[in-house]
Structure 1
Amino acid sequence: MSGSSNTRASSADQDAEQLRALGYSSDFNRSMSLWENFSLGFTYLSPVVGVYTLFGLCLAAGGPPMFWSYLLIGAGQMLVCLIFGEVVSQFPISGGVYPWARRLVGKRWAWMVGWVYAWALCATIAGVAVGAGPYLAIMLGFNPGPDANIIIALAIILLSTALNLVGTKLLARVAMFGFLCELVGAILVGGYLLIFERHQPISVLFDTFNLEVNGSYLPAFLAASLAGLFQYYGFEACGDVAEETPNPGKRIPKAMRMTIYIGGAAAMFACLALILSVPDMAKVLAGEDTDPVATILANAFGPIGSRLVMAVVMVSFISCVLSLQAAASRLLFAYARDEMIVGSSLFKRLSANHVPSFALLVSGLVPAAIVCLGMFMADAVATIVGFAAIGIYVAFQLIVVAALIARAKGWRPNGQFTLGAWGLWVNLGALVYGVCAIVNMVWPRSPDAAWYINYSMILTTLVVMGAGLVYMLLGKPYDKGTAPAGDAWKFSKPLAKGGELSGAAVNKPAI
């Protein structure tokens, strides 16, 4: 027993020493295990929430081959995940993308990354909370209206805030419970559907049902691939709690990869089961069955059984909001610790439970305010929520570009996880994938709609980034703190022959 305690104490000392070497000290409670850290990313990614929410829309847009978008986009996001793994392994600092950008490039770049990512997270929290309304209605047996969805969303955000304020241990346990419920639910529900409620042959996955635009199926498939694009993010949340995870340089990159391939496999299995269980594909494609998920579950499980399934789905929604809010609060905490935001003295303060309580409250209040806009401007809320995914993808690509800039300056990843000589090529692949994904997301697909609806994602992104740029240039919030920035190359080691890292540190003048 004493030997185990000594080992844990030694590991904690090493983690604290690594953080001090990076210019920080921490009062966070390092109690999150590898599987709990992974569960945070998994419930943020939430296969059930992602698949169930977009299944009907994307199946109608591209037909059953939309299934393959999960595989293709998962492979692309894995490239991004590998780059993030290299960065967090070397810079395991709370806040994720913001401190990574700060060390890779500098303060201004980091400020913009944090600004975009913070608003995207708040919009995502609001969107997921609002999206839970119809599923709770099915579970409780009533027809929800817009006001009911708003009340449900506010209740979920309030519950998430209360749970997060209790502390890291409860966050980890709820995330783990959400992961187990979601995974078991996906396997049991999907398995039952495939065994007892299968109405389509496996060959339907290759049947386009003549969904063509100007003689080509590609536009329909790209539209349907939004299901995958909205699915594969959440792995970065593993790094947001780096100071709450022992041995983060090794565990967090592994947890990130687990999030992609376990979460992706669960999403693909759930999607496959739903596609093969559609009783009348023609009605879905014709727009006559606008909610095929509800139709499938009602046919398969009946009124009582479908409500039990919805209970599992609700656990997924709540744990997803919980993980998103935890990520947003750690980002705000990291921002405040470096004096990058008004009210930094409050937002960087940890409670007796070792959580950033004021940051958590703001991470609940801002999404709640977005939700409340639905009482007055439903279209505005839809537009803001639409920014959620594109904002996160933009923030991701700013990190991918930052890693390339740092490599050009001489940075060679030197954490416990590195890609070695493959790093540059994976980095370039992640950039190409990310740019293509963003273009696909913002591409206008409703020629009969008003221009501001077709280009709403681009407009909201430009407004958020433009406002952030103006604030940054006029207020210069990035210039108030003295935390290290733009120094990734200082921690590098040069490449020896054969692409392996040598033992000598790079000796360059400080920036």
Structure 2
Amino acid sequence: MTSNTPNGHLGDDEHLAVLGYEGKFDRSMSLWANFALGFTYLSPLVGVYSLLAVALSTGGPPSIWWIVIVACGQLLVSLVFGEIVSQYPIHGGIYPWARRLWGRRYAWLAAWVYIWAMIVTITSVAEFGSGFVTSLLGIELTPEATLFTALGLLLLALAINFSGTRWLARIARIGLAAELIGVIGLGLYLLIFQRKHDFSVFFDTMGTAGDGSYLPVFLASALAGLFLFYGFEACGDVAEEVSDPARRIPRAMMMTIFVGAISALFSFGGYVLAAPNLEDIVAGKVADPIPSILDATLGPVGAKLFLIIAILAFISCVLSLQAAASRLLYSFARDGMLPGHTWLSKVSERSKVPTNALIVACTVPALICVLIYFNDGILVAVTSFAILGIYLSFQMVVLASLRQRFKGWKPAGPFSLGGAGTAVNVVALAYGLFAMYLLAKPGETGEFFADYVVLIGLAVVLVTGLVYLFVARPDRKSDAPQGDAIAVSDEIRRRTGAVKTQ
């Protein structure tokens, strides 16, 4: 068994030194700020607003149960990530975890997919957020208005991120408050004062299955949950800016899942139970049902107040996404794994943030926004790819973790699942593969591109990444540590006084 000296754990700088790095960032992010960052990235408000109509028209009110199913599955993934980040509390999340658990090339591919998925997610959130801004200002939602509003959101987030970690934490907390008011507060109000349906409606398929089995229809509505529960990993992307990250980040990730699930249930459930035209929504006759529900329940003034709250949530979401993406780019570049790595890995002496990586995390989504302006049909395609890409990156880390466990790795961070670790890891991998199957399953419209757009997008990213990997060989340009999970865990135990006794 393993015994530890009382309170024996590494200090932040010593832990970082064991991992081969030195601290360059301001560790001013608290547990709550770290949780706020992950929560505003996950953003139940954005997820529910974006997918309520799709979920209801596909699977009816019972599609709400996907929120519970996916939350449980992603909680298992967050537990696996928690053990990893507790041993490896370093910037970048997915990339350094995959590298230290497997190797350079494996990590490069995981990070390549994840970076593009994050960049596309930033684009999608900015595009969706533009609708709220134009509604508040009373501007017609034209392609031009969408473009300039989305660019404005990206630039505003960049300016805040440039100001440093303290401002990032402050705005993330404001975004957290906006999210909680916008989802839990509004959800409770709708449930208590505006309920027009009985709770049994969540077991009523309302004819969505036709004369056939409901199971295929229910599986098709899985996006209601799958789109919601990623973002918790962002807590680990900024690990070097968190005080006592080995303990706090695992807690922040789990808090993100728990609070996100509760918030999403209140929000989704509130809208369903308060909908005056639920049958029409389920029948697909209402493309965007939330504005009509808000107007009917809150009135014009209340609806405007909600728009302000929603805009704050969208700004915070873009902010968190940019911050997480920039830290991943920085981590990737710090190890010499990207073109222009010297430029990308620079950290501002004044604000202690990777400003050049932030510029990239703003510029590339802005360019995609311009592409969408010229072809708005690709927004759905790029958004669909983003979800599958992120889930694939997650499972690459989960698989790498399981591989190390089978080789004898026992995570040495202060957060530990103990003997349950392997079982949790196996179930998390099984869940992830099932989720990826649901996301990649071709549609049934009969149009090849529409039915296979998610797989096409993933294939393009994977092929281009593999071509670059085997032609440019960025993995050969880096001598940063890799595949050292067992060695690092042994060193941490040696330094903390943990000893193995028979």
Local SS of the residue matching 1:43: helix
Q: Give the Å deviation of 1:148.
A: 1.3
Match of 2:193 in 1: 196
Match of 2:405 in 1: 407
CA contact (8 A) 1:66 1:224 kept: yes
Q: Give the Å deviation of 1:145.
A: 1.7
Which whole-Å CA distance do the structure 2 matches of 1:185 and 1:467 have between them? 40
Match of 2:219 in 1: 222
Local SS of the residue matching 1:160: helix
Q: Give the Å deviation of 1:214.
A: 6.2
Match of 2:445 in 1: 447
Identity of aligned residues (%): 47
Match of 2:424 in 1: 426
Write out aligned runs for 1:57-68 (5 A). 57-68=54-65
Write out aligned runs for 1:87-98 (5 A). 87-98=84-95
Per-residue Cα deviation, 1:246-299 (whole angstroms, up to 9, x for no partner): 111100000000000011111111111111011122211222222211111010
Match of 2:382 in 1: 384
Q: Give the Å deviation of 1:141.
A: 2.4
Q: Give the Å deviation of 1:502.
A: 7.0
Local SS of the residue matching 2:213: coil
**Could you tell which deviates more after superposition, 438-447 or 170-179?**
438-447
Write out aligned runs for 1:273-422 (5 A). 273-351=270-348, 352-422=350-420
Write out aligned runs for 1:134-149 (5 A). 134-149=131-146
Local SS of the residue matching 2:284: coil
Which whole-Å CA distance do the structure 2 matches of 1:350 and 1:213 have between them? 58
Match of 1:38 in 2: 35
Q: Give the Å deviation of 1:154.
A: 0.8
1:487 matches 2:458 = no
CA contact (8 A) 1:129 1:156 kept: yes
Q: 2:269 aligns with which of 267, 272, 292?
A: 272
Local SS of the residue matching 2:377: helix
Match of 1:101 in 2: 98
Which whole-Å CA distance do the structure 1 matches of 2:171 and 2:411 have between them? 33
Counterpart code for 1:417: F
Q: Give the Å deviation of 1:381.
A: 3.7
Q: Give the Å deviation of 1:391.
A: 0.7
Gaps of 5+ in 2: 1-7, 492-496
Q: Give the Å deviation of 1:220.
A: 1.6
1:55 matches 2:31 = no
TM-score normalized by the length of structure 1: 0.93
Which whole-Å CA distance do the structure 1 matches of 2:50 and 2:304 have between them? 16
Local SS of the residue matching 1:458: helix
Per-residue Cα deviation, 1:459-493 (whole angstroms, up to 9, x for no partner): 11011011101100111101112111111011335
1:70 matches 2:63 = no
CA contact (8 A) 1:139 1:306 kept: no
1:86 matches 2:90 = no
Which whole-Å CA distance do the structure 2 matches of 1:174 and 1:326 have between them? 12
Match of 1:155 in 2: 152
Counterpart code for 2:227: F
Which whole-Å CA distance do the structure 2 matches of 1:252 and 1:94 have between them? 12
Q: 1:251 aligns with which of 229, 238, 248?
A: 248
Which whole-Å CA distance do the structure 1 matches of 2:379 and 2:286 have between them? 25
Q: 2:458 aligns with which of 450, 456, 461?
A: 461
Which whole-Å CA distance do the structure 2 matches of 1:190 and 1:13 have between them? 43
Which whole-Å CA distance do the structure 1 matches of 2:90 and 2:104 have between them? 15
Match of 1:181 in 2: 178
Which whole-Å CA distance do the structure 2 matches of 1:128 and 1:380 have between them? 14
Which whole-Å CA distance do the structure 2 matches of 1:463 and 1:390 have between them? 13
Aligned length: 489
CA contact (8 A) 2:440 2:455 kept: yes
Match of 1:165 in 2: 162
Which whole-Å CA distance do the structure 1 matches of 2:284 and 2:437 have between them? 26
Q: 1:503 aligns with which of 491, 499, 502?
A: 499
* Runs of 4+ off more than 6 Å: none
CA contact (8 A) 1:330 1:356 kept: yes
Match of 2:4 in 1: none
Q: 1:120 aligns with which of 117, 139, 146?
A: 117
Match of 1:4 in 2: none
Q: Give the Å deviation of 1:380.
A: 3.0
Which whole-Å CA distance do the structure 2 matches of 1:504 and 1:355 have between them? 40
CA contact (8 A) 2:19 2:488 kept: no
Which whole-Å CA distance do the structure 2 matches of 1:129 and 1:358 have between them? 20
CA contact (8 A) 2:443 2:450 kept: no
Local SS of the residue matching 1:298: helix
Local SS of the residue matching 2:11: helix
Local SS of the residue matching 1:55: helix
CA contact (8 A) 1:140 1:307 kept: no
CA contact (8 A) 1:373 1:381 kept: no
CA contact (8 A) 2:227 2:387 kept: yes
Local SS of the residue matching 2:136: helix
Which whole-Å CA distance do the structure 1 matches of 2:373 and 2:41 have between them? 27
CA contact (8 A) 1:493 1:503 kept: no
Q: Give the Å deviation of 1:237.
A: 0.2
Which whole-Å CA distance do the structure 2 matches of 1:152 and 1:218 have between them? 40
Counterpart code for 1:90: Q
Q: Give the Å deviation of 1:217.
A: 0.7
Q: Give the Å deviation of 1:13.
A: 8.7
Which whole-Å CA distance do the structure 2 matches of 1:211 and 1:287 have between them? 10
Which whole-Å CA distance do the structure 2 matches of 1:426 and 1:186 have between them? 30
Q: Give the Å deviation of 1:327.
A: 0.5
Which whole-Å CA distance do the structure 2 matches of 1:117 and 1:260 have between them? 20
Counterpart code for 1:434: G
Q: Give the Å deviation of 1:188.
A: 2.4
Change (3 A) 1:18 1:492: closer
TM-score normalized by the length of structure 2: 0.95
Per-residue Cα deviation, 1:90-132 (whole angstroms, up to 9, x for no partner): 0001000100011000111111111011000000000000011
Q: Give the Å deviation of 1:404.
A: 1.2
CA contact (8 A) 1:42 1:263 kept: yes
Which whole-Å CA distance do the structure 1 matches of 2:305 and 2:451 have between them? 38
Change (3 A) 1:213 1:83: farther
**Could you tell which deviates more after superposition, 206-215 or 403-412?**
206-215
Which whole-Å CA distance do the structure 1 matches of 2:165 and 2:311 have between them? 22
Which whole-Å CA distance do the structure 2 matches of 1:417 and 1:323 have between them? 24
Gaps of 5+ in 1: 1-10, 495-500, 506-511
